[in-house]
Structure 1
């Protein structure tokens, strides 16, 4: 059951990657008109903002997993 869920999640994740390649017009304009350090700053900001939702979802799944494992014992 768990392997099927992980596989399904991975399959959905891979199939939605192409749609996440798009970028907002403001970010694109700033990067195109700025220098390399500005582009690096935008990329670092995007990475910083992207990490926290994944951490929260990971913590949620870990908590559910731990709860279910304790319930079996």
Structure 2
């Protein structure tokens, strides 16, 4: 059980290190001297991307749990 929990936590937090920019955003933001705006855009895209995955994972968990309780 603990390994499963560690795996879930690692999976949920591993996407924070990804670089998420489209090509046009990257071109515009790379021309800027300071990279603080680019980092803010990256963080915003990653946060917006995370919530659908968390919701789908939660729905799968509840369906799995319901299926296993009906099976027993």
TM-score by length of 1: 0.60
Q: Distance in 2 between matches of 1:72 and 1:36?
A: 54
Please identify which structure carries the higher helix content: 1
Q: Kindly report structure 1 stretches of 4+ aligned residues shifted beyond 4 Å.
A: none
| Distance (whole Å) between structure 1 residues aligned to residue 40 and residue 28 of structure 2 | 11
Please name the residue that 2:57 is paired with. 58
Displacement, 1:66?
A: 0.8
* Runs of at least 5 residues in structure 1 that lack an aligned partner in the other structure: 1-20
Q: 1:27 to 1:49 in 2, by over 3 A?
A: same
1:27-66 matched pairs, under 5 angstroms: 27-34=25-32, 35-66=34-65
Root-mean-square deviation (CA, aligned residues, Å) is: 2.1
Q: TM-score, normalised by structure 2?
A: 0.60
After TM superposition, the structure 1 stretch with the greater mean CA deviation from structure 2, 50-59 or 31-40, is: 31-40
